[in-house]
Amino acid sequence: MNAKQKITEALASALDIPPSYYEKAHNRYIDLGKWFGRPDSLTARHSPRIYGQGSFRLGTVIRPLTAKESYDLDVGCRLEAGISKHTHSQKQLKQLVGIELEKYRSARQIENQLDEKHRCWRLEYADDLPFHMDVVPSIPEEVTKRASLVTAMESHGLGRTLAESVAHHSGNITDNRHLEYDSISYDWRISNAEGYSLWFESRMATSRGQMEKVAAMESRAHVEKLPLWQWKSPLQQAIQILKRHRDTMFSKNSDSKPISIVLTTLAAMAYRGEEDLGAALDSILSGMDDYIRSSRPRIPNPVNPNEDFADKWYDPKYVALDLEGNFRRWLTQARADLKHLDKVTTRAMLEKLLNEKFKVWLTASEMDELAKLLPSPASAYSGVQIITDRPAKPWASHS
């Protein structure tokens, strides 16, 4: 194993959260699902289903930069029977779920009040693992709309089998900013976190070696399907590294940083099945911007191509943040900093790079092991620094 591969794997390992955190998140899903399905629940007759989504679902969670930050645990709450766009408004669905969540909060003695967000309800936990749970109410999408989604995905390159599997999981979510939020309306926002995870899995599966590894793990554990967070694929690890690099670069200007769904989607598109993490990072960084379209949608949601993950780039409300410009500046910086891993020749150079660019401090023994792999010493590290500690326009006034 070459030095870059070993260094990037050590970096990804330092950024990842312990398996017990994923298991605890999973237990929260199970507990909440049992609550919504209990006989005296208002939602029991609507066949409620609780499922994970977001970075916990994809296995791309990273440790927060500071101890003050909490983990985001995104949860879908789908009522699969007895409710449709023709019988309920978005507001009625959201209030129904909110009533049960308030009862859950009281029963589990969660002190913080239930907090309503635009699309979800937030529960703030204060135990040994600080995190908040964002619960998104939803209902299944109608059959005719699912068929049109299959057609749209096929036109953007997805095979029909995958497109049909993805579309099966599509649904409609609530959003209190919608003009018809409190009235019966056919026009609801489409969301498909489960379908996105299937698409993401298909991108990881481009690595034959990764699939053989997962199959072996499933066989040893005697499970039908291994959760994505246990795959530990080069794609997942690369995304973790890129997210931390972004967080470090924009630590003083978080409103201006590229959002995770943009990084995750572009990285997955650019991934070519490399089994070496260093090679995967090189491939992803060199190809990410190839998947940014010149016309709208600039970065289509792969499971709903009419949705644009980069819609804020051209939204007048966010023009002062220069979000597209900041994405491209981050990409240039990430390319420069990761390229310097090939030029690191001393323990001190490596320590400086990891500390400054990723806010990662490895143990002395870990650093010693990595130092053994480095080539003979050369000049001291002098990383290309495109963003300095002194904020530069356009975000100087938004820090």
Residues 122, 104: contact at Cβ < 8 Å?
no
Three-class SS of residue 178?
coil
Query: Given a cut of 70, is residue 213 above it in pLDDT?
Result: yes
Percent of the chain having pLDDT more than 90? 81
Right CATH for 17-193 from 3.40.50.1820, 3.40.50.20, 3.30.460.10, 3.30.2320.80: 3.30.460.10
Domain boundaries in the chain? 1-16+232-392, 17-193
Question: What percent of the chain is helix, strand and coil (3-state, nearest 5)?
Answer: 50, 10, 35
User: Tell me: the pLDDT tens digits for 95-117?
Assistant: 999 999 999 999 999 999 999 99
Tokens matching residue 63 = 């440790």
Query: Given a cut of 60, is residue 389 above it in pLDDT?
Result: no
Tokens matching residue 112 = 């913080």
What pLDDT is attached to residue 388? 35
Closest CA to 7 of 325, 255, 375: 375
- What's the average model confidence in pLDDT over 43-49? 97
Query: Given a cut of 90, is residue 127 above it in pLDDT?
Result: no
Right CATH for 1-16+232-392 from 1.10.730, 2.60.40, 1.10.1410, 1.10.10: 1.10.1410
**CA dist list (Å): 58 to 62, 219, 239, 257, 260:** 12, 21, 10, 21, 12
- What's the average model confidence in pLDDT over 149-154? 98
Tell me whether strands 300-301 and 131-140 are parallel, antiparallel or unpaired. unpaired
User: Tell me: the pLDDT tens digits for 51-65?
Assistant: 999 999 999 999 999
What pLDDT is attached to residue 392? 37
Task: Work out the number of other CB atoms within 10 angstroms of the CB of residue 158.
Answer: 21
Please report which confidence band the pLDDT of residue 2 belongs to, taking 50, 70 and 90 as the band edges: confident
Three-class SS of residue 287?
helix
User: Tell me: the pLDDT tens digits for 171-187?
Assistant: 999 999 999 999 999 99
